[in-house]
Structure 1
Amino acid sequence: MRLAVAGGTGMTGAHLARIARERAHEVIVLSRRTGVELLSGAGLEGALDGVDAVIDVTNVTTPRPDVSVLFFAGVTKSLLAAERAAGVPHHLVLTIVGAEAAPDGYYAGKLVQERLVAEGEVPWTVLRSTQFHEYAALMFHRTHAGAHVAPSGRVQPVAVREVAEHLVDLAEQGPAGRTTDLGGPREEDLADMVHRYAHAIGYRGPLPVVHTPGAIGRAFRSGALLPGAGARLGRQTFTEWLAALPDA
């Protein structure tokens, strides 16, 4: 197959491109590094000729809903327009388990992304996954007034490589609409994950537990972002991921 990976130089995209090539698929990486500006669509013309599926794993780091919506809506519209012009038969996108429970901030953009894909003319698949194991590192390094904190919450983290493997599986299978959610093998306490990550990299300073305000904080603490019954579960635990860290 000929697969185009939007965001193919990012964390998820790099895994995805590597796995697809290991399976003998031709991979086209769509990113600024390869001359494609996905938000505006510059560089997309002709880039999708002969492509069997576009896999969108683009991302933006922001807590602001306006920035998130602008990014995900813009990228999705650019991709769908280019796919229609090139006759691409499958658009596959990665989003987040339980996004509707916290329809603000970053999640607002993911919900708009899902809606645009579902309402579009290109046959589609939406895969929702839980947070990656790397979420603990993200939370640790996102300081507040210069201080490290550990947000509280219930999560069921999954290995990014396993998500990438499943995305390639779905690309090979063809459009499936909203497919089965993917989560990690077991529930974890987010604050505990952050503490364990900090210890693994040698941090010994203060790390107070904080409660994130608003809808996103409530969603994390209530378990609304956990995979439901019938979800597909990954294999690697957070403990195993932590043990494999180069700094551990």
Structure 2
Amino acid sequence: MRIAVVGASGRIGREVVDVLRSRGHEVLGVTRSSGVDVYAAEGLAQALAGADIVVDAVNATTTETAAVTDFFRTVARNVQRAAAAAGVRRIALVSIIGIDRFTAGHYAGKLAQEHAYREGPVPVRILRAAQFHEFTEMMLDWTTRGDTAYVPKYRAQLVAARTVAEKLAEMAIEDNGAELVEIAGPHELELAAAVARVATLRGRPARVEEIVDTDDPDHELQADGALLPGHEALLAGPTFEEWLEHKYPARP
């Protein structure tokens, strides 16, 4: 099967490419470095020509609400238009669990992306994932000031990026798959506590402090568990502790 992966160089995209190629599929990486600008639709028609399936794992470089919403909505519409012209059978999209009530930032952008894809002619399957284990490392990078990381209060059920990629690849290629699936890790945890475990293993920063970010209009949703999986979600390992053991092996 010939499968185009939009955002093939990103965290999920590169894992999806690896999974699909390991299963014998021909994969077309759709990235800026390959000459495609999906937001401007430059090179997109040529990139999708001959593709049977499209996987969208593209990410945005901004979290400002208006900009990120415009980005994801525009990309979805461009991909739908090009996919329909190319005769693509379906599109598989990675999104985020629990975003329906969110009004700001990245979550609002992903919700706009889902809606735009559903408005198009090519059938879409959506994998809503919990935040990745790797999100803890990103939070450290984003929130560390001096010797302290200031992490927003956030109930999470983190899942490995590789696990999400494997499920997204499966949803892309299976003939009779579900239109919407949720996937999360096995256990709920507090994000600040998980980030603190990473900080300890890295040896920096010295402290991780949980905060309430009242500048975020959706901070109560995050703190109250809106981003936790529903009862029918697929729960899949590795656990966060198992991921840590693999990512930060103990030195002899």
Please identify, of 19-28 and 71-80, the stretch whose mean Cα deviation from structure 2 is larger: 71-80
C-alpha spacing 1:71/1:182, structure 2 compared with 1 (3 Å): same
TM-score, scaled relative to structure 1: 0.94
Deviations 1:51-82 (A, max 9, x none): 11100000114331111112101211111111
Contact 2:99 2:111 in 1 (8 A): yes
For residues 221 and 128 of structure 1, the distance between their equivalents in structure 2, rounded to whole angstroms, comes to: 19
What letter corresponds to residue 239 of structure 1 in structure 2?
E
Check conservation: 1:101, 1:215, Cα contact below 8 A.
no
Equivalent pairs counted in the alignment come to 248
Separation in structure 2 between the aligned mates of residue 171 and residue 23 of structure 1, nearest angstrom: 13
Give the match's secondary structure for 2:4.
strand
How big is the shift at 1:244? 1.5
How far residue 104 of structure 1 moved from its aligned partner, in angstroms, is 1.4
Partners of 1:187 and 1:82 in 2: how far apart? 39
Which residue is equivalent to 1:216?
218
1:175 to partner: Cα distance: 6.8
Specify the alignment match of 1:199 in structure 2.
Answer: 200
Aligned equivalent of 2:81: 81
TM-score by structure 2 length? 0.93
Change (3 A) 1:69 1:247: farther
1:212 CA displacement: 2.5
2:14 aligns to what? Answer: 14
Which piece of structure 1 moves more, 170-179 or 188-197? 170-179
Q: Distance in 2 between matches of 1:32 and 1:164?
A: 21
User: Could you say which residue in structure 1 is the equivalent of 2:134?
Assistant: 134
* Residue-by-residue CA offset, 1:2-21 (whole Å, 9 max, x unaligned): 11000001111111000100
Instruction: Note the 1:51-200 alignment, pairs <5 A.
Output: 51-143=51-143, 148-174=149-175, 176=177, 178-200=179-201
| Distance (Å, rounded) in 2 between the aligned partners of 1:239 and 1:14 | 23
Give the secondary structure class of the aligned counterpart of 1:142: helix
The CA deviation at 1:229 is 0.3
Moved more, 236-245 or 4-13: 236-245
TM superposition shift of 1:204 = 4.6
Verify the 8 A CA contact 2:201 2:248 in the aligned structure 1.
no
Alpha-carbon separation, structure 2, partners of 1:58 and 1:202: 32
CA distance in 2, matches of 1:26, 1:76: 23
CA contact (8 A) 1:184 1:233 kept: yes
Where structure 1 has 5 or more consecutive residues not aligned to the other structure, the ranges are none
Question: How far apart, CA to CA, are the structure 2 residues paired with 1:35 and 1:246?
Answer: 36
The secondary structure found in structure 2 opposite 1:164 is helix
1:97 positional shift? 0.3
Q: Which residue of 2 aligns with 1:30?
A: 30
Which segments of 5 or more consecutive residues in structure 2 lack a partner in the other structure?
Answer: none
Question: Residue type of the partner of 2:18?
Answer: R
SS in 1 for 2:44: coil
Q: Which amino acid aligns with 1:209?
A: E
**Counterpart Cα distance in 2 of 1:168 and 1:194:** 28
1:162 match: secondary structure: helix
Kindly indicate whether the alpha-carbon contact (under 8 Å) linking 1:152 and 1:220 is maintained by their aligned counterparts in 2.
yes
Kindly indicate whether the alpha-carbon contact (under 8 Å) linking 2:77 and 2:120 is maintained by their aligned counterparts in 1: no
Equivalent-residue separation in structure 2 for 1:44 and 1:182 (angstroms): 29
- Which residue is 2:235 aligned to? 233
Give the secondary-structure state (helix, strand or coil) at the position aligned to 1:244.
Answer: helix
Question: What SS does structure 2 have at the residue aligned with 1:180?
Answer: strand
